[in-house]
Amino acid sequence: MSNNLIPLTAETEDLLEAVRSADILVGIPSFNNAGTVGHVVRAVGAGLAKYFHGHRAVLVNADGGSTDDTPTIVAHTMVDLEPLFISDRQSTLHRIITPYHGIPGKGSAFRTIFEIARRLKVKACAVVDSDVRSITPEWMELLLHPILKEGYDYVAPYYRRHKYDGTITNSIAYPLTRALYGQEVRQPIGGDFGFTGELAQHYLEKHVWESDVARFGIDIWMTTEAIASGAKVCQSFLGAKIHDPKDPAADLSSMLRQVVGALFALMETHAPTWLPVTDSRKVPLFGFQYEVGVEPVNVNVERMVDLFQLGLTDLPDIWARMLSEDALDQLSSLRNVPLRDFRIPDSLWAQIIYDAALAHHRNVLPQEHLLKALTPLYLGKTASFVLDSQGLTSAEAEQLIETLCRTFEKQKEYLVARWPQSHDSREVIGAARAKSERSEP
Amino acid sequence: MTTTWEHTLLGPVTALGERVFAILPNVLAMMILLLVGLGAAWGMGHLMERLLRVIGLDRLCDRIGIAAALLRGGIKADPSYIIGRIAYWLIVIFSTTASLGALDVAPINEAAHSLLSYIPHLVTAAVIGIIGYLVSNFVSQAVLIAAVNAGLPPARWIAAGTRWGIQLLAVAMAFEQLGIAQHIVVVGFGITWGGLVLAAALALGLGGKDLAKDFLERRLAGHSRSQINEDLRHL
């Protein structure tokens, strides 16, 4: 167990001294979210009062140095419980508003939140994004109830999203996590999670806070760590996910690098866990599911294909070092293909991701170059998905994602066969696979 | 008459013969030293290479990423081979210098001494050259990927310009270390680099003003004209 304390400000230390302990902690990382954070705080306050009255609850806002009064809004936002038919008006919601230390990013904010959870010895934690507009008080129940009452350790979100919303999730994070670890967590990088105080402490003890985990990699890292550490995982249906529309497409390359970099780094750490896994299983889903109206998403397919073609022209030497000859040949056949015929098949995409993971493992390129060189390929696959799903409903598009996931699972053998392993681990994996085959009907 | 003839004609020949006989042992010593040195260099080079292979230096370099760094810099040889070659050439240089010293001829001794005192500059210049080569490959690759991801069609040209700029800088620094035409190198480098920057500025300002505008829009406003109609959320 680590005894290293994460540095907190004197003011935060004083607040912790005053609060002493709590049952529930809700963390909100923020950076210049003045337009949305008030709504998030009201939803959290109402949710805790409605569903967890009698519990000692703390709201922690870890802010990255906002210049738009975000912390002030968090401190002063009040929620009127009367119109919400909430009888509990007595329970106090303690608020801790603190800056965080370390690399600027969501992960570093979470680290401070985990540290406060550890100091307060909380039983259950939830974290929610500060720019989410669709949060309701019910999210608190859905994220915390499975932890406090159902014996789960980790609650991942389950949203209704537009078919073109969350394309890194749909084309990489979900299929790869599902194929590797065998659990069908639909939104592994959703951003809104529930977890136990013990799991928060487990996260704190990991030495990952100088890596991509400190930034956008935090979400996939939390989910994967939970699965790999043997935590009991479930999902909660939260309805729609509508964010503040300021997610910058210009930062795509960095986002992709951080998420995929964290995924690949986790593959190194947890190889003994994922190598023997041969299939996937459903993860329990709580909450009443309903259809929601999602915001339309405009997509410029032509531009994405142009970037892919530019990559095909200028990056073949780099791709040749990270992809197999077969994958490269298939990609070359897409050169100057008319837009209507442009497709990256699922099997090729799975092979590209597995080849990239192997190249990352073998360190054949600087990691930053390898991960950023995936951007044109990812845009090509996204364009291909958009072209395939034009005119389809969200449910039908979901079927395409399901097919992609099955392809990842089917082709996992390709990755396992090429991943360097010791003789002992090969025997363990062989035995696990034989057992899995015997148990199949 | 005979005495004069002998004195005039045979005197210089005799003196030359005496000088040659006097220097012959030194020449022989030089040749022996040179041959022994070359043999020792060949033997030590191979021995060192084999020894490093046996103790697993290549595997160690693989594990800590040195082999990959060399590969990324375009050097395909194993670390053991590279160290073996370095040992070979160091012994060759020292044995050559020592063998020249065996001649015991003042100008050659001075030249050998100069050569020995020049070695640190030579090594520094070689290190600058190697680092410059590795850095230029690394940076140009990063620039190429970034330019492609930014959708800049002349990505290859930008990357090539970066590579040659860094290599030019490294060569100029290496020449300065070697003391070769110091002023010419510095002035030449300044003119070339200044010319490149001016050419790039003119090219971007005149030929690529839309590109520059697009770039500034993206930097300052967070989007480009081509992205205005796109609100794809990736996470």
**Helix%, strand%, coil% for chain A, nearest 5:** 55, 10, 35
d(CA B98, CA A87): 98
Distance CA A305, CA A376 (A): 8
% of residues, chain A, pLDDT over 90 = 65
Q: Contact B155/A314, CB-based, under 8 Å? A: yes
User: Is pLDDT at B227 greater than 90 in this prediction?
Assistant: no
pLDDT confidence of residue A2: 45
Q: Judge contact between A401 and A174, C-beta under 8 A.
A: yes
Which of A255, A366, A376 is nearest residue B72 as measured by Cβ atoms? A366
Q: Helix H segments across B150-208? A: 155-178, 182-202
Which of helix, strand or coil describes residue A198?
helix
Task: Kindly list the strands in the beta sheet with A233-240, ordered across the sheet, starting from the edge strand earlier in the chain.
Answer: A93-99, A57-63, A24-30, A124-127, A193-196, A154-160, A233-240, A285-286
For residue B153, give the chain A residue with the closest CA: A310
pLDDT tens, position by position, B43-68? 999 999 999 988 888 877 776 667 76
Instruction: Answer whether B68 touches A (CB < 8 Å).
Output: yes
CATH class of the region B120-224: mainly alpha
More confident call, B115 vs A22: A22
Neighbour count for residue A133 (Cβ, 10 Å): 16
Whether B145 and A168 lie within 8 Å, measured CB to CB: no
Cα A374–chain centre separation: 19
pLDDT of residue A228: 93
Q: Confidence band (pLDDT; 50, 70, 90) for B72?
A: low
Sequence ranges of the domains in chain B = 1-104, 120-224
Contact check, Cβ <8 Å, A167/B233: yes
- Please state, as a whole number, how many other Cβ atoms lie within 10 Å of the Cβ of residue B88: 20
- Is B59 an 8 Å CB contact of chain A? no
Percent of chain B at pLDDT above 90?
15
pLDDT digits (tens, 9 = 90+) for A293-329: 777 778 889 999 999 999 999 999 999 999 999 999 9
ipTM (interface pTM): 0.84
Residue pair A335/A309 in contact (Cβ under 8 Å)? The answer is yes
The pLDDT assigned to A332 comes to 95
Dist. CA A250–CA A440, nearest whole Å: 46
pLDDT for the residue numbered A244: 74
Does B142 lie at the interface with A, CB-CB under 8 angstroms? yes
Q: What b-and-e string marks burial along A372-384, b requiring 16 or more CB atoms within 10 Å of the CB?
A: bbbbbbbbbbbbb
pLDDT band at B1 (very low <50, low <70, confident <90, very high): low
- Taking one residue from A and the other from B, the number of pairs with CB-CB distance under 8 angstroms is 104
Residue A249 pLDDT exceeds 60:
no
Nearest to A68 by CA among A192, A244, A193, A252: A244
At residue B225, the pLDDT reads 43
Is A389 within 8 Å of A364 (Cβ atoms)? no
Contacts of A318 in chain B (CB under 8 A): 141, 144-145
Nearest to B148 among A164, A248, A376 (CB): A376
Report the helix count and the strand count for chain B, using DSSP H and E. 9, 0
Q: Does B220 touch chain A (CB under 8 A)?
A: no
pLDDT digits (tens, 9 = 90+) for A359-395: 999 888 888 999 999 999 999 999 999 999 988 888 8
pLDDT of residue A318: 92
Whether residues B148 and A310 touch (CB distance < 8 A) is answered with yes
- Residue (of A231, A200, A36, A41) closest to A112 by Cα position: A200
The ranges of chain A annotated as CATH 3.90.550.10 are 10-286
pLDDT at A3 > cutoff 60: no
Look up residue A5 and give its amino acid: L
Instruction: In whole angstroms, give the CA distance from residue A61 to residue A57.
Output: 13
- Concatenating the DSSP letter of every residue in A128-197 gives --TTBSS--THHHHHHHHHHHTS--SEEEEEEE--TTB-HHIIIIIHHHHHHHH-EE-S-TT-S-EEEEH
Q: Do A310 and B155 touch (CB under 8 A)?
A: yes
B76 reaches A (C-beta below 8 A): no
- A299 neighbourhood in chain B, CB within 8 Å: 230, 232
Residues of A in contact with B218 (CB under 8 A): 250
pTM: 0.80
> What is the rounded average pLDDT for all residues in chain B?
80
What is the CATH number that goes with domain A10-286? 3.90.550.10
Is B223 close to A249, i.e. CB distance below 8 A? yes
Report H helices in A35-91: 37-51, 70-76
Amino acid letter for position A176: L
The owner of tokens 């105080």 is: A197
pLDDT in tens, B132-145: 888 888 899 999 99
User: How many angstroms separate the CA atoms of A240 and B93, rounded?
Assistant: 74
What is the DSSP pairing of strand A124-127 with strand A154-160?
Answer: unpaired
| Interchain proximity B229–A298, CB inside 8 Å | yes
CA atoms within 13 A on the CB side of A343: 8
